[in-house]
Structure 1
């Protein structure tokens, strides 16, 4: 019996009742360990497996207490998504209303901070607990268009019985994560949801496109902030001798003197004024500027101190990081998903990997060497003394520690890289 995978176009070709029955059959067979003619889509199946390991009951409606109104307002004011709400509204609300959908915007914990739509559909959402302040993270309510994209970092449409919890079978949703281009940090998810009969396979493409517009708006705002910082810093740098640069709070360069320009200076997670060791520059003096920092290189220690130890911490699924330590101190950097994958492979293979080998282990395509070289070039800007090339490897003299999650299945859950998927499937 041939086992094929589902796709949204196939579901859209069915009427609502037929699609619902079909998906329930697929889910029941999968959750009970029976073989089915059709297997769930990969993201759905992986989510279901996470729910089973986490003990989520598929037959029980799981809900947590709502955030109080003052906490909702506090989170709204602190969220970068507040800056792009006009873009999200312009792109989605009118279409969502016409399609009998609700638009919701959630933070990185899966808490719903904004929702908009017609009153009749909002009342339907109320019945599902789709209300302001509700908690829709995947580990509580099961596979869904808010919580699951927060885990995987990828857009996802969840239809009918693709939801893990059966009480959501009459609902359809499509959600896409939003990343802040200033620091690569996941800042939330945008989702449009509605009754089962309103499903359309193009919905996910629409949501994804609008979130990309929102990210572009954040990027434009970032450029404007850098211009403002540059206008403040340039006269100051013109009066300084030696090497110095002005960067914003995320390390993006606004102005430089006495040294080649660099697009971004990697900074530690917490930064205070005073003396600081940076792997790429050595000892520096850091002073606050409006909207950023003035970084002056101490010339007597202009040669960067050699690092001795690197810790790749993958224990937190959403926040991989690398810590570099040496005689001058230590420094921590959070990693993008792609850079976490690349470092993971290099930690496993201390003898090194060619561009083709990395392309195979990351993309399952050894011809994608141009992409690998570009990503490794970006990574080496931050970890110049850590990474060697020809082949790509971690410098032999450096001690390396890999911190894995307690559950192998939580290893970089966003990743589809063959090297990571293989490691997740092994129960160590």
Structure 2
């Protein structure tokens, strides 16, 4: 019987583990030697291996970064929002992981291991792999793995045996899911369940993903509570004011408003201080501190603020995460941090200066030209913080008199690696000149 074209981890039974591991080892060896493998790795693994080859990660000699010092490790733990929901992770995962001879591991957004708990025997095995608190398990350092790879692709990933790029990790299995901050979409880290190869179970990935979603839900509850506290403080302040004013938290979420239409969230600059500032959505305004947020008072008597009308845009998608759009030459220079979806859409528009219809963008993004509602909704959000002087529609495009520069990664393989959009995947597959 011919080997399957791709290993489906969801269908592997316990008695098939050794066979699956051998098939994957063959695929791994063939790929690294430039041959055509009998078994094709899953797309998420294949793309990760391509990044590792580009980055020059050594598959034969696992690299161990220096561990963080105890003081720096404790500081990272204290600063991490994941600390707030660590009890949730422990309650949901540690007992299950221990019984299944796994460990729970939590890393920050840079791939540094912050916490690990579970089976003592498995913890000792993890130590032998350098899988320790303070270690750097980002993908570009230790290769394809259940912490670093979910950080790059921003979705749950299970990595089994020889799917790990570095051979010393082939005796290991892990499943990790990213946790994002519901306030601003910032990547906070990954929760991972790991253990020896023989303990692999296909349901582990679903468990890790569910627990990550539960953690995000708890963070969202805390955010709602914080907004309610800010609203209680801001409401009497706004009641004494004439004219327009809005109270927002430090992430721009609206707590209270008077004299103007409410908005769910405002785009704020990276650093905001008391005094005067300029915002695309409000124009010039006064900024006053509130406990847990800011009071913004637009100085114009009303109407629509002056449009941004930038003459030059710089779209920076050079890093695996942390994409920005800088708008230069207008009323004020402005840099906005982009969500993963907005980074994809703006990259597609920047590479199609003639413009794309809603159906064309839906095809590019989802492989389905009928999904225009999602595209229109996202671009409506983009236009709110860019202003009408930057993006046009029918078709969607950057205005002709706006210069657009794209800062791309050194290798096409590293372009928006989180994206599963067909057009982005096609751009990643383009061979380097």
TM interval, shorter chain, is over 0.9
Structure 2: unaligned runs, 5 residues or longer: none
1:388 matches 2:392: yes
- The equivalent position to 2:378 in structure 1, one of 359, 375, 378, is 375
Which residue is 1:20 aligned to? 21
Structure 1: unaligned runs, 5 residues or longer: none
- The equivalent position to 1:307 in structure 2, one of 306, 309, 334, is 309
CA distance in 2, matches of 1:324, 1:248: 24
Work out the number of aligned pairs and report it.
Answer: 428
Which residue is 2:419 aligned to? 415
CA distance in 2, matches of 1:30, 1:13: 26
Query: 1:202-232 CA distances to partner (integer Å, 9 max, x unpaired)?
Result: 1000000000000010011000000011111
- The equivalent position to 2:320 in structure 1, one of 317, 320, 334, is 317
**Cα distance 1:49–1:91, how it changes in 2: closer, same or farther (>3 A)?**
same
- Which aligned pairs between 1:176-215 and structure 2 lie closer than 5 A? 176-215=177-216
**Cα distance 1:114–1:383, how it changes in 2: closer, same or farther (>3 A)?**
same
CA distance in 1, matches of 2:361, 2:100: 44
CA distance in 1, matches of 2:22, 2:212: 32
Q: Decide whether the 8 Å contact of 2:350 with 2:398 is kept in 1.
A: yes
1:330 matches 2:324: no
- Which aligned pairs between 1:173-322 and structure 2 lie closer than 5 A? 173-299=174-300, 303-308=305-310, 309-322=312-325
CA distance in 2, matches of 1:271, 1:253: 16
**What do you get for the CA RMSD once the two structures are aligned?**
1.7
Q: Decide whether the 8 Å contact of 2:308 with 2:387 is kept in 1.
A: no
- Which aligned pairs between 1:358-373 and structure 2 lie closer than 5 A? 358-373=361-376
Q: Decide whether the 8 Å contact of 2:318 with 2:407 is kept in 1.
A: yes
CA distance in 2, matches of 1:365, 1:289: 46
Decide which moves more: 9-18 or 398-407: 9-18
Distance apart, 1:63 and its partner CA: 0.4
TM-score by length of 2: 0.95
Query: 1:300-329 CA distances to partner (integer Å, 9 max, x unpaired)?
Result: 685324322322111222111111234432
Distance apart, 1:421 and its partner CA: 1.6
TM-score by length of 1: 0.96
Q: Decide whether the 8 Å contact of 2:7 with 2:20 is kept in 1.
A: no
1:401 matches 2:405: yes
CA distance in 1, matches of 2:59, 2:330: 53
**Cα distance 1:2–1:119, how it changes in 2: closer, same or farther (>3 A)?**
closer
Q: Decide whether the 8 Å contact of 2:280 with 2:305 is kept in 1.
A: no
